[in-house]
Amino acid sequence: MGQPNGEFELIARLRERLPGTGARLLVGSGDDAAVAVAGGATATSVDAVVDGVHFRLDGGFEPEDVGAKALATALSDLAAMGAEPGEAYVVLGVPPAAGEAELLRIADGLAEVATATGTAVAGGDVVRSPVLWLALTVVGHAPRPELLVTRAGAEAGDVLVLSGELGGAAAGLLLLERPALADVVAAATAANLRQRQLRPTPRLRAGAALAAAGARAMIDLSDGLAADAGHVAARSGVALAIDAAAIPLAKGVAELAAASGQDPLELAVSGGEDYELLAAIPPDRLGEAATRIGDAAETSLTVIGEVTRGGAVEIRLPGGGTLTSAGFDQLAPRPGGPAAAGP
């Protein structure tokens, strides 16, 4: 990529702020390509976020949040494979009006998540663009390919487990867009929910624990439980039966749903962006998974359903009815409207 000299200098300043070394990385940023020692198998995922589409700098997101969330959500895909995070590559599309201070703050947010997760920023590029965007590639490692967990291995008889709690990111978005709603929950609860939207945690330790315990299929919940469970069902060729009453809601979700006239289950099942993990695991491995997750001390683990024969997702409601995976229309506007739909 050609850059005018000014961009070379910007790249140098961005690089200074980013952790550029890693155990597997022999040559990092600054050559034609980064050189890494491969550890048997790699898991690679790409993601991108665009200003005005996936985030709004005028809608509660600070530049640090944009960088942190972009990397965290990319790493969430590695968590869902059970991979150990290795390297990240960042391309920044930069509009003429973007100030350098803002770009460096985005880098600071990236650096925070990179450091916390042991990820080396091994390369990147800066290109001119009419709109601000970030594209991230993350590479994770495993000693052998069969240790990585795809979406495709679920089998009838497996139990479905969920890390953490749902609905928090959607409730946080509600709070960012309608700050007056915060009155219905404690200030600390509101702050936690906003953080769930602005700063999701990639469940890397939980993913590694589930993979090590023998999870047969795994996915991270970016689009929402209903949609993402549908991906596992389709790729594995199975049906998933989920007990709605078993889904743990993040604290404050019920109150915010009531105050905004929404069903809390819809926030939990279709709100998206919680970046928790859904895994199918043989029942006899559940004890080991719970122990490993407990040892990792990152999050909780809840059994929310089971894998059966068939090909659909059925969410069993407390009142006795069911939602199928088509129960919530994915094209319907998110709580924050289409422009706020999450990455």
Phi and psi (nearest 5°) for 137?
-115, 130
Which residue matches tokens 């001390």? Answer: 297
Contacts of 5 (CB under 8 A, 6+ apart): none
d(CA 291, CA 209): 9
Question: Which of these ranges, 13-21, 45-53, 97-105, 312-320, lies near a copy of itself under the rule CB under 8 A?
Answer: 45-53
Edge-to-edge strand list for the sheet holding 301-308: 217-220, 277-281, 159-163, 301-308, 239-243, 313-316, 322-324
Binding mask 196-225 for a copy of itself (x = CB under 8 A): ----------------------xxx-xx--
Return the number of other C-beta atoms located less than 10 Å from residue 102's C-beta.
17
Contact call for residue 278 and a copy of itself (CB under 8 A): no
Residues 299-318 binding a copy of itself (CB under 8 A) are none
Comparing CA positions, the residue from 161, 77, 63, 183 lying closest to residue 112 is 63
* Residue from the set 12, 23, 26, 245 that interacts with a copy of itself by CB under 8 A: 26
Q: How far is the CB of 48 from a copy of itself (least distance, A)?
A: 5
* Residue from the set 22, 47, 233, 239 that interacts with a copy of itself by CB under 8 A: 47
* Residue from the set 21, 33, 97, 319 that interacts with a copy of itself by CB under 8 A: 33
Contact call for residue 158 and a copy of itself (CB under 8 A): no
What are the structure tokens assigned to 194, written together? 């906003």
Q: How far is the CB of 258 from a copy of itself (least distance, A)?
A: 26
Q: Which is nearer to a copy of itself, 247 or 340 (CB)?
A: 340
Which residue matches tokens 């790409």? Answer: 46
Question: Which of these ranges, 26-34, 184-192, 281-289, 306-314, lies near a copy of itself under the rule CB under 8 A?
Answer: 26-34
Contacts of 234 (CB under 8 A, 6+ apart): 311
Phi and psi (nearest 5°) for 155?
-130, 145
Which residue matches tokens 């497996």? Answer: 158
d(CA 297, CA 206): 9
Q: Residue 23, CB half-sphere, CA atoms under 13 Å: how many?
A: 10
Q: How far is the CB of 152 from a copy of itself (least distance, A)?
A: 7
What are the structure tokens assigned to 113, written together? 């998540």
Question: Which of these ranges, 9-17, 77-85, 161-169, 290-298, lies near a copy of itself under the rule CB under 8 A?
Answer: 77-85
Q: How far is the CB of 330 from a copy of itself (least distance, A)?
A: 5
* Residue from the set 54, 69, 203, 205 that interacts with a copy of itself by CB under 8 A: 54
* Residue from the set 11, 107, 114, 148 that interacts with a copy of itself by CB under 8 A: 148
Contact call for residue 336 and a copy of itself (CB under 8 A): no
Q: Which residues are registered as beta bridge partners of 242? A: 305, 315
Contact call for residue 235 and a copy of itself (CB under 8 A): yes
Type of residue numbered 38: A
Indicate the DSSP class of residue 204.
Answer: H
Q: Which is nearer to a copy of itself, 152 or 259 (CB)?
A: 152
Q: Which is nearer to a copy of itself, 140 or 164 (CB)?
A: 140
Question: Which of these ranges, 56-64, 71-79, 159-167, 284-292, lies near a copy of itself under the rule CB under 8 A?
Answer: 71-79
Contact call for residue 155 and a copy of itself (CB under 8 A): no
Q: Residue 246, CB half-sphere, CA atoms under 13 Å: how many?
A: 17
